[in-house]
Amino acid sequence: MRVLPLDGVDALESPRKFGLLLLLCVAWLLPGLVGHAPWRPDEAGAMGIVQHILNTGKWLAPTLAGEPDLSFGPLYYWTAALFAQAFSWALPVHDAARLASGFYVALTLGALGFAARESFGPSMPRLALALMIGSVGLLAHAHEMITDTALLAGYALVLWGLALSARRANPAGVLIGAGLGIAFLARSVVPVAVIVMTAALLLAFPAWRTRRYARTTLIALVVSLPFLTIWPWLLHHFARAEFFIWWRIENLPLLYKFSFAGAKSELVYFLRTLPWFAWPVLPIALWSLWGYRNKLLREPGFQLPLVFFGILFAVACLNAEKRDIHLLPILLPLTLLAVPGAETLRRGAANALGWFGIMTFGLFSAFIWFAWAALMSGHPERFYRHVLKLQPGFVPSFEWLAFVAALLLTVLWLLPLRQSFRSGRRAVFHWAAGITLMWGLAATLLLPWIDHGKRYTDVVLKLQRHLPSHYKCIGSAGLGEPQRGALYYHAGIVTKRAERAEFDAYGCDVFLLQTDPRKRDARPGAGWVKLWQGSRPGDKSEAFALYRLREPRP
């Protein structure tokens, strides 16, 4: 295969093109960050923690509906609470808090662009950004209120610092130390292990065994120490019980629970998920590895993402549950590996990628416009009834701002289509523009319809209206973190867990049960009267039932 040398691409950056790319990134990032309630499965729980911070002013230990929730670090919740305080005058609290995800994703994109520049040259940041925002798996998660966005930013800063370490030790060490600290405060100990293993394994290559790299790692250690020590020390000093929950229950087991017995199942799941999740970055990265196979063991620009990818994928298979969200960090090294491959993509492959993107996103976008028109007009009637059947109780309404934004996105996508895909770079940009259009239309035209089925707002408010005017406390069974977070955020409801027979010990006279409506659940047993039963619109997997004790306790 004929490829360009790494230093043979055009090093000139057009300010106009860079400005257009920044506009594309903004158009990709902003839709979906605001305009909807916290969604399941992750947002409702996160918003419950943020609301606790806002209500109580207690920032030290993340708390969800009266119980410490230390499965993740506190950084994202702190940031979301700060955004909520700063912008809740203009936005609903949950929308203002979700801006924290936009902040961390923007930081991720910036750090990744600089890492690509250090690894492969000054013309590569735009290509890296286009590849990253074009990744299918990043699209929805980047707009969610989740701690993984902060973790992604920490990892991206580490990659930038490691790529920079060959040239400037001091700023590289600061970046690595800050990135390690952010990753630790986002997801605790496992990211620290990933970063330390990456830094250590890079020493297997001669290019990394230098005094400058040693100085970089020493500076990184010094910079990271405040991140690694201050919050745990404060937690131990002021909330010792929460500290031991965080360390002994949530973190210490992670250091030795790597399971080779279950790794085969996780490996199969992640191998099946990765091709679509990392599309089109994965095939371009494989093309890059093949084309530059003679440089893999000699070029630090390839060694860094290869080692990082290998460690992240192994940790996901050995230590993570089967959820696609655990593949998010893997997009970072794959994007770096795909950068030189996209630059040298053959014209036939570039045309295939470009036209596949046009057909795919064009058809999806046309369908979104059609569905929106049907909701607004009621025609065709059969399709209109079917769409409303998917979200029972939804009432369509015309929103000028959403319509204008969607129209503008569509026009901007159509304008450059007259150009050919004579290069991989142009095909990647068209792909990124297409996925931005599709997401933007869904997050403007169809957002109220989607939100109607994914939010807990309506069901929680109905439940609240059926609560007795006077009661001692509410016991509950079956509630997960999203449901407990939604109850606390929307109605200030805190329940006492009563999963088994210990319920009577609480002396509560109201009981809330979440269950699968397809399965019979006899709780809370005899002596209780059902006050209300309901679920989210169209949800067939979870239902709520509210009971009151027939004979009030003395």
Own/partner pairs, 458-462, CB within 8 angstroms, 24+ separation: 458/393, 458/536, 458/537, 459/534, 459/535, 459/536, 459/544, 460/486, 460/487, 460/490, 460/491, 460/493, 461/490, 461/491, 462/532, 462/534
* pLDDT (0 to 100) of residue 171: 97
- The answer on 444 and 464 residing in a single domain is no
Q: Walk across the sheet containing 510-515 and list its strands.
A: 496-497, 474-477, 510-515, 543-549, 528-534
Range of 272's domain? 72-225+258-339
Tokens of 458: 């309506």
Q: What pLDDT is recorded for position 553?
A: 57
Residues 309 and 215 in one domain: yes
Residue 395 and residue 281 share a domain? no
Is 279 in the same domain as 426? no
Residue 90 lies in a domain: yes
Residue 18 lies in a domain: no
Query: Which residue matches tokens 């990134």?
Result: 25
Do 450 and 410 sit in the same domain of this protein? yes
**Residue 532: strand, helix, or coil:** strand
Residue where one domain finishes, among candidates 339, 361, 381: 339
Is residue 92, in this structure, part of any structural domain at all? yes
Angle at 400 between CA 399 and CA 406, to 5 degrees: 95
CB atoms within 10 A of CB 2: 6
Same domain, 112 and 139: yes
Same domain, 432 and 470: no
Average pLDDT, 10 consecutive residues per value, the chain (554 residues):
47 71 93 93 93 96 93 96 96 97 97 95 91 95 96 98 95 98 95 96 95 97 97 95 89 65 75 94 94 88 96 85 90 96 85 87 95 95 93 92 94 74 80 94 96 93 94 90 95 86 71 88 83 88 90 61
Domain CATH code at residue 544 = 3.40.190
Let me know whether 309 and 185 are in one domain: yes
Tell me which of 454, 489, 522 is where a domain ends.
454
Number of domains in the chain: 3
Say if residue 198 is in the same domain as residue 311.
yes
Is 316 a domain residue? yes
Q: Strand 496-497 relative to strand 474-477: parallel, antiparallel, unpaired? A: parallel
Of 313, 339, 365, which closes a domain?
339
Residue 29 lies in a domain: no
Does 433 share its domain with 489?
no
Distance CA 465, CA 34 (A): 27
- Residue 527 domain-assigned? yes
Q: Is residue 48 part of a domain?
A: no
In sign, the C-alpha dihedral spanning 456, 536, 390, 357 is positive
Q: Given this model, what pLDDT does residue 2 score?
A: 42
Q: What is d(CA 489, CA 542) in angstroms, rounded to the nearest whole number? A: 19
Give CA 229 to chain center in angstroms: 26
Helices 43-56 + 75-87 axis angle, to 10: 70
Contacts of 97 by beta carbon, 8 Å cutoff, 6+ apart: 47, 50, 80, 81, 83, 84, 145
Question: Which tokens in the block code for residue 320?
Answer: 């993570």
For the chain, report the end-to-end CA distance as a whole number of angstroms: 84
DSSP code at position 38: P
Domain check: are 438 and 461 in the same one? Answer: no
Instruction: Establish if 479 belongs to a structural domain.
Output: yes
Specify the pLDDT at position 3.
Answer: 47
Count of C-beta atoms within a 10 Å radius of residue 275: 11
Same domain, 370 and 489: no
Strand 510-515 with 496-497, pairing: unpaired
Q: Global pTM?
A: 0.94
Q: 476 has which bridge partners?
A: 497, 512
Whether the Cβ atoms of residue 135 and residue 279 lie closer than 8 Å to each other: yes
Ramachandran assignment for 229, one of left (phi > 0), alpha (psi -120 to 50 degrees), beta (any other):
alpha
